[in-house]
Amino acid sequence: MENNFEFEVLHVCKQSGARVGRLKTPHGIIETPVFMPVGTQATVKGILPEQLNELGAQIILSNTYHLFLRPGDETIKNAGGLHKFMHWDKPILTDSGGVQVFSLSDLRKVTDEGVEFRSHLSGEKFFITPEKCMQIQNNLGSDIIMAFDECTKPGVSHKEAEKACERTTKWLERCYNAQKNEKQMLFPIVQGNFFKDLREKSLNEVSKYARCGIAIGGLSVGEPKEVMYDILDFLKDKYPENMPRYLMGVGSPDCFIEGIARGIDMMDCVLPTRIARNGTALTKKGKMIVRNAIYKNDFSPLEDDCDCYACKHYTRAYIRHLINADEMLGAQLLSIHNLRFLTRLAEDVKKAIYEDRLLDFKEEFLRDFKW
């Protein structure tokens, strides 16, 4: 497994402690820090794999829960795995589906053995164990797979959060013992809600099973950003040094920079494509609501210095027209732009780390960026 996966820290920013690294996987090298576009249903909505390559995507994320329900992990296995199924030859990370299962609330029942839940699509009953979660992800054939964990909502008691942490660790051990595929790397997930003692305890426990990466889950679930930053500050100097740290489900531009400044290497989020479908573009000044009337006769690109396909060929006025006419091309062009905005931001952040000035870059970026 060590031959298939290796992580090397190339530079540590003297000003912030942020890192530039290189993660080797069976489907190619990932340079960190990295933003990972989300392709929940084996597709980044509205974007072709060739377009993902053009805009600088190095790795994409798909979701175990959704693909298990539809089309089914056996179907994807029969297709030759997720890479062949979706025509993507770079690395893929699959989330365990834990967040989705635990968001079902009234449709699920949790025991130490696993989780019983009803499909949100059909109402059919399923039972997922840590071993089953590994089997599904093995069938999918992703490069990086996530441990099955128990997520807790904001506002739970310390006792409830502690119980979930203990179950997460027990499930991780079972995932670790069940995972035998040397072409897949299992990332443990740190839980603990917003309790620092539980976060530290969870990190110490799950790190024993970490070989080439570790994830931080249960953040960006509705809490104020300052609460998330406080937890990340607390954990910053406690991670294993020789592996990438993945902050799950976080990806607004401000959080991306703040996360990297706090020692994070990898992040993912549906935000860039979701807001694109609502007619919103990411710019260095913040959100641009393209459907607004102010852009009706604005024949400039979404952002003057952007090198994406949308900005090279189309204007704000045209994209506004597409969005207001409910033409799918509008959402597609905005998605291309928003994803490129974040991959370019990762490139700019990497440059600032190499120049030992990430905190200066962060201050300059956030001074103009309004979210």
Name residue 257's amino acid.
I
Residues 106 and 99 sit within 8 Å (Cβ to Cβ): no
Our answer to whether residue 95 is catalytic in this structure is yes
- CA-to-CA distance for 41 and 45, rounded, in angstroms? 9
C-alpha span between 226 and 214 (Å, rounded): 22
Write a three-state SS string for 67-85: HHHCCCHHHHHHCCCHHHH
Distance between CA atoms of residues 296 and 216, nearest Å: 43
Active site residue 360: no
Extract the runs of DSSP E, i.e. beta strands, from the chain.
6-12, 19-25, 28-32, 34-37, 60-63, 92-95, 108-110, 115-118, 125-128, 144-146, 185-187, 189-190, 214-216, 245-247, 266-269, 280-283, 286-289
**Active site residue: 73, 143, 265, 268, which one?**
268
Which tokens hold the place of 352?
A: 């600032």
The single residue of 95, 143, 149, 265 carrying the catalytic annotation is: 95
Do 114 and 130 contact (CB within 8 A), yes or no?
A: yes
Distance, in Å, from the CA atom of 357 to the CA atom of 16, rounded to the nearest integer, reads 8
C-alpha distance from residue 77 to each of 71, 137, 160 (Å): 11, 10, 37
Whose CA is closest to 214, among 189, 196, 235?
Answer: 189
Q: Which phi and psi (to 5°) does residue 119 adopt?
A: -60, 135
| Catalytic site positions | 95, 268
